[in-house]
A and B are shown apart, each in its own frame.
Chain A
C-alpha cells in the first residue's frame, strides 16, 4: 500500500532546513556582533529559516525585535516598553481609542526625532474567536495606527504592518484583563 506514509513520519526536510537555519543564525550572530550590541541573544532563538523579511535582531533594545522573535526566545510579555508604546483596542474593534491618541502622538514625536528609524506595526487580538478572522482583524488594527501616525506626519514609507492575530498573546489567562492587554498594536523599531 503506497497511498500515504503513515506511522511516525518524523520531521520533514529537517536536514535541508537545519543547514539554512544554521547559516542564517550564524549570519545574524555576526551582524549582532558587528553592531556591537549586547550578547543577550542566544543562538537558539536567533531567527528562523527564511529569506527576505526574515526575523532578526537589530540591536535596538526590547522594542527592536518582533513579537514573534520574542515568542521564540520565550521573552514575549517579559520586556518593558521600548521607545514606542503599545496601544489597545476594544473587543472585535479596530478604531483607535480616544485615550490612545496621546500615545500615538508620543510615538510620532519619537519617529520625528529619529528620522532614520522605520517601524513595523504589529496588530494583535485576544484569544477568542476564529484564528483567521483574528489575523484579518489584527491587520485592521495595525492599519488603523499606521493611518493615524500618517496624519501626525510620519510618512507611509517608514511604516509597515503585520498581523499575528491571536497567536502571540502577552497574557495567557482567560480574564477580561488579559484579553484587554492582548488586543494591542505593538511598534517595532527596525533601524
Chain B
C-alpha cells in the first residue's frame, strides 16, 4: 500500500509527509491548498475534552472511476472509516440514508460537487473519494472537506490489493483525527488479546483496534496468556502451557515461526517486550518467589532486576524503554512500582488500596494506568512520578488489564460489565483525569481478555 499525504493546514504535516514517503510504494502528490489555521486551532482546543465536542461528519461512498462496479472497494473503505471515526469519540457519522448527493453522478473534488447538499445535513466535515480497480490493484483517492468553510483540508492516495483497502481506511481515519484534533489517530495499529471464541481454551489473537482483520496466533488446547508487542506488532510475546508447563514464546507474525523462552531459574510466568523488540523482561517463579529478569530477545539472561521472596509480576516498559513498571507484593499487598532500567531501587507509586496491579505506561511516560480492587476491579490512572490516583471506571464488576493507545488518548481494557468478558475502548483525558467508555470492540461467543496495543504500522 502506498500513501502520500500532501500539505494540510498545520505545520505538523511535515512530519507526516516524511513518514508516508518513507513507506511509500506509489508516490502520487496531490496539490492541496487552503487556509483555516485559526479554525484548526480552535478545533484542537475544543476537541481535547473527551466527549466535549462530537463533530457531525458525512462519509460518502466513492465515485467509481472504473473496475469497482459492485462497489466492493468503496464499501470496504467507507465501512471501516465510519466505524473508526465513530469509535474515536470525536465524530458522529451522519446517517448515509439522509445523503442527498449521488456520488456516481457528482464529482468528488472541490468545485465538482455542491456543498449545500452537505451543509443542509448539518455536516461539519465531509469525506469523498474516488476508486479505480485495475488488474487486482485498487487505487483510492480520498479527500476531506470542511463544509462550513467549503474548503478542502487534505487528501490522500492509496494503492494496494483488495485485501489492503480496510487498512487504507484505518490510516486515513488516523489522518482525519490528525487534521481535526492535531494528533494522529490510533487505528493504523494492531491489538493482541486472549480469547476463548470458538471453544473453551484461551488462545492468542491479533486484530485491528476496530476488531477487523482478525488473525489467530495460537491453536493449542491448553492455556495461552499475556500477549505483548514491542512498538511494532511484527512479533508477539505470550505465555503458554502448551508443553504442560508455562513458558514464554516469541512469535514472528510474518514468518509464523516462534522460539521458546524459558529460564534456568524456574518457571517463567509472564513477560514483556522492550519497545525496540530487542529485549524481554520475564517474571520467573522459583520456590514460590517470583522475580523479574532482563533477557536478550533470544532468551539469554542479561541480569536479574528484582530479588527477594516477594511476588514481582506484570512488567511493562515505558515507551522510551528506560523505565519498567511492575506489580510487587513486597509491602504485603500488591502495589505498582517503577524502576529505572539504568539501575537504582524500585520506587513505589500506588499507596491507596490493597490490590493494585497490571500497570501500563502512557506513551509520554507521565502516567500509569492500572487496575485496583475497589468493590469490583476498576481502572485508575496515576502520575508515574507519584501523586493522586484518579478512578476512571465505576463498576461493581471487573475492569482489568488497561493498555494505553499509542496516541495517548485511549485505554483498551477488558470488562465483564455486560456478562461476557469484552474488550472496551475508553477515551481518556489526563488533564481533567476523566474517561468515557466508548464501546465494546467485538461481539463474540467467547471471553476476550488481556488486550495490548502496538504502535503504528505506517512508521
Q: Mark A residues whose CB is within 8 Å of B.
A: 1, 3-14, 17, 48-55, 66, 68, 71-72, 74, 92, 94, 128-133, 135-137, 139-140, 142-144, 161-165, 167-168
User: Can you report 29 A-B residue pairs in the complex whose CB atoms are below 8 A from each other?
Assistant: A1-B167, A3-B1, A3-B457, A6-B167, A6-B208, A10-B216, A17-B219, A48-B222, A48-B243, A48-B244, A49-B242, A50-B243, A53-B243, A68-B244, A92-B355, A130-B314, A130-B400, A131-B401, A133-B327, A133-B329, A136-B285, A136-B290, A136-B313, A144-B288, A161-B288, A163-B246, A163-B267, A167-B202, A167-B225
Out of A3, A48, A54, A162, name the residue touching B221 (CB < 8 Å): A48
The CA-CA distance from A68 to B245 in the complex, in Å, is 10
**A136, B311: Cβ atoms under 8 Å?**
yes
- List B contacts of A143 (CB < 8 A): 287-288
**Which of B223, B242, B244, B254 counts the most A-chain CB atoms under 10 A from its CB?**
B244
CA–CA, A72 to B221, complex, Å?
A: 7
Cβ of B234 under 8 Å from chain A: yes
The 8 Å CB contact of B245, one of A53, A137, A140, A165, is A53
A77 → chain B, closest Cβ, in Å? Answer: 13
B285 touches A139 (CB 8 A): yes
Query: How far apart sit A142 and B285, CA to CA, in the bound complex (Å)?
Result: 12
- Which residues on A sit within 8 Å (CB–CB) of B401? 130-131
Contact A6 B220 (CB under 8 A): no
Q: Which residues of A contact B311 (CB under 8 A)?
A: 133, 136-137, 140
Q: Are the C-beta atoms of B355 and A129 separated by less than 8 Å?
A: yes
Q: Which 4 A-B pairs have the closest CB atoms?
A: A143-B288, A1-B1, A50-B243, A9-B215
Asked if B357 is an interface residue, CB under 8 A from chain A, the answer is yes
Contacts of A66 in B (CB 8 A): 244
Q: Quick one: which of B86-132 are within 8 Å of A by CB?
A: none
Is residue B75 contacting chain A, with contact meaning CB distance below 8 A?
no
User: A163 to chain B: which residues have CB within 8 Å?
Assistant: 246, 267, 269, 285
Contacts of B166 in A (CB 8 A): 6
**Complex alpha-carbon distance, A167 and B313, angstroms:** 17
Query: Do A128 and B288 touch (CB < 8 A)?
Result: no
Name the residue of chain A whose CB is nearest to the CB of B287.
A143
A131: contacting residue among B220, B225, B242, CB under 8 A: B225
Name, among B215, B251, B256, B285, the residue most crowded by chain A CB atoms within 10 Å (CB to CB). B285
Q: Which residue of A lies closest to B354 (CB)?
A: A92
Q: Which residues of chain B are within 8 angstroms of A165 by Cβ–Cβ distance?
A: 269
Q: Which residues of B contact A51 (CB under 8 A)?
A: 243
A136 & B269 in contact (Cβ 8 Å cutoff): yes
